[in-house]
Amino acid sequence: MNRFVFADPNMCIGCRTCEIACVVSHQVDGKLDGVSPEAFAPRLTLVKNVHVTTPVMCRQCDDAPCAQVCPNNAIVLEDGYVKVIQSRCIGCKTCVIACPYGAMNVVTTMVEESKGGSLFNRMAPKSQALKCDLCAHREAGPACVEVCPTSAIQLIKPETLSETSKQKREAAALNAAVASFR
């Protein structure tokens, strides 16, 4: 089972620190100076409506729809998470359609493309399918988990799930005892 980042809506206060931490974590130099609004692309998004406040992000689906539909095999299951090989991304956005969580974001920027001498330089579109990568480049793990002021965001590991399921079964067993049929 893949690990994934998950937020508890009962703990979230909607501060968006996670969004900023995500962008910082994915800057080459780890700095935010000069990040343009276009380049500001957090891989998790705070949803705040009348009922709920919580960031939504990739679940690292074990049988990931985004990976299944990618026509260029740019999305793979590797290193325990669903990884995008950006060099293969063609910006077709099929993964965006496939993702049931709205957690995929295709960002296209114009980059200088050189074919030989500078005479032939031209601006060409370059697409990237951006999603949560569990901050694989970071030793300390996902930045959002680290910065959340209420500890609402957690990295869920297989053992976390089995432990909470065990606790729920214990509670359910107790309830069953109380609510016995006779």
Partner 1 sequence: MSNAITEIQQAKCLLIFGYNAADSHPVVARHILKARANGAKIIVCDPRKIESARIADQWLPLNNGSNMALVNAIANVIIEEDLYDKAFVQNNTEGFDAFREIASHYTPESVEQVTGLKAADIRLAARTYAAASEAMILWGMGVTQYGQAVDVVRGLAGLALLTGNFGRPGVGCGPVRGQNNVQGTCDMGMLPHQFPGYQSVADDVIRDKFEKAWGVTLSGTPGYRLTEVGHKADEGICKAFYIFGEDPAQTEADLAAMRATMRKMELVIVQDIFMTQTAEFADVIFPATSWGEHEGVYSSADRGFQRFYKAVNPSGDVKPDWEIFSLLATRMGYPMSYSNTEEIWDELRALAPLYAGVTYEKMADLKSVQWPCPTEDHPGTSYLFEGNKFSTPSGKGIFIGAEWRPPLEQPDSDYPLVLSTVREVGHYSCRSMTGNCSALQTLADEPGYVQMHPDDAKALGIDDQQLVWVSSRRGKVISRANYNDRVNKGVVYMTYQWWIGACNELTIEHVDPISSTPEFKYCAVKVEHIDDQAWAENYVQTEYSSLKARLKSHVANA
Read off φ and ψ for residue 81, nearest 5 degrees.
-155, 170
Considering only residues 149, 163, 166, 172, which one is a binding residue for partner 1 as defined by CB under 8 A? 149
> What is 105-117 written as a DSSP string?
EEEEEEEEE--SS
Minimum CB distance to partner 1, residue 105 (Å)? 15
Say whether residue 128 binds partner 1 (CB under 8 A).
no
Judged by CB under 8 A, the residue of 26, 45, 47, 53 near partner 1 is 53
Nearer to partner 1, 15 or 69 (CB): 15
Strand partners, 110: 125
Size of the site for partner 1 (CB under 8 A): 25
Binding mask 10-49 for partner 1 (x = CB under 8 A): xxxxxxxx-xx--xx-------xxxx-x--x--------x
Q: Using the rule CB under 8 A, is 164 a contact of partner 1?
A: no
End-to-end CA gap in the chain: 40
Contact segment (CB under 8 A) with partner 1 among 50-58, 69-77, 88-96, 107-115 equals 50-58
Asked if 171 is part of the footprint of partner 1 (rule: CB under 8 A), the reply reads no
Residues in a beta bridge with 107: 128
Q: CA 140, 143, 149 angle in degrees (round to 5)?
A: 115
Q: How far is the CB of 42 from partner 1 (least distance, A)?
A: 9
Per the CB < 8 A criterion, the answer to whether 66 and 58 are in contact is no
Smallest CA-to-CA distance from 131 within 59, 71, 31, 78 is with 59
Does residue number 150 form part of the binding site for partner 1 (CB under 8 A)?
A: yes
Q: How many CB atoms lie within 10 A of CB 156?
A: 16
Dist CA 82 CA 62 (whole Å): 8
**Cβ 157 to partner 1 shortest distance, Å:** 22
Which residues make up the interface to partner 1 (CB under 8 A)?
10-17, 19-20, 23-24, 32-35, 37, 40, 49-53, 149-150
